[in-house]
Amino acid sequence: MLPIKIIEEKMDDSKLGFIEEVWDMLSYQLSIPKLESRKILEEVISKYSEPHRSYHNLSHIYSMLMMAEDYYDFIGNPILFELSIWFHDLIYDPNKNDNETKSAERALELLSPFLADSFLENLEKMILSTIDHSPILKDHDNELFLDINKSVLASEPTTYNQYTSAIRKEFSAFPEELYLAKRKSFLEKFISRDQIFITPFFKENFEKQAVENIQAELNNYVLDENK
């Protein structure tokens, strides 16, 4: 079964309610006072609802949280895993190259009153691992987190096309030629790897579809260039 990916620019009330419930449970487990918890949640929702986000938005977080529930029994540290989902794209500006670093910095600023330094260090590493899509912690949780984050690459073709359209919209300020060059470079890095997914389960079940999707997208760019 291919990963279920929700790609929407605006969340409906039921999905937003699910997100808030997950956060409330997580903040309760971390003993974050209710007032501070709501302030953090309001900032997170505000950031992921920025108008320039067509893919890296709340629907992305919702999809990852849903998938994390499916794989809960295989996650060693669920709290670290969920926090990594919540904060990994907190800062997102398509024109900048330091989004992951800024996201990690802001996550640590918001959570440092409530978490031990060692935990925060691992959270920072989880978030920074999304720069190269390679695990920094070298453990199963980091590997699974990265696989879930890029699971959209193995979605069924209609959803994959929605994803590529959403990404293009986020980079709408880029001229077509520049965007295609950057997008092709991004895809070619994935396709040139020994494997796209890291965990044995994702590799066995989703690698083939991801390769087909990426190759089809690259083929479309070649066709466009030859017109």
Tell me if 145 sits within 8 A of 81, measured CB to CB.
yes
**Per-residue pLDDT, 132:** 95
Q: Which residue has the tokens 């994702």?
A: 202
Mean pLDDT across the chain, nearest whole number?
94
Which two three-digit tokens encode residue 138? 């070298």
**Per-residue pLDDT, 223:** 52
**Is 2's pLDDT higher than 80?**
no
User: 35-46 pLDDT, tens per residue?
Assistant: 999 999 999 999
Q: Which amino acid is at 19?
A: I
User: 53-101 pLDDT, tens per residue?
Assistant: 999 999 999 999 999 999 999 999 999 999 999 999 999 999 999 999 9
**Is 220's pLDDT higher than 90?**
no
Closest CA to 126 of 138, 112, 111: 138
User: 127-141 pLDDT, tens per residue?
Assistant: 999 999 999 998 999
Dist. CA 136–CA 39, nearest whole Å:
30
Fold for the domain defined by 13-151: Hypothetical protein af1432 (1.10.3210)
Q: Within a 10 A sphere around the Cβ of 219, how many other Cβ atoms?
A: 10
Q: Could you give the C-alpha distances from 147 to 1, 36, 43, 152, 160, in angstroms and in order?
A: 15, 31, 26, 9, 16
Q: Indicate where the chain has its CATH 1.10.3210 domain(s).
A: 13-151
Q: Which residues, at least 6 apart from 170, have a Cβ–Cβ distance to it below 8 Å?
A: 52, 53, 54, 55, 56, 94
| φ and ψ at residue 212, rounded to 5 degrees | -65, -45
Tell me if 147 sits within 8 A of 70, measured CB to CB.
no
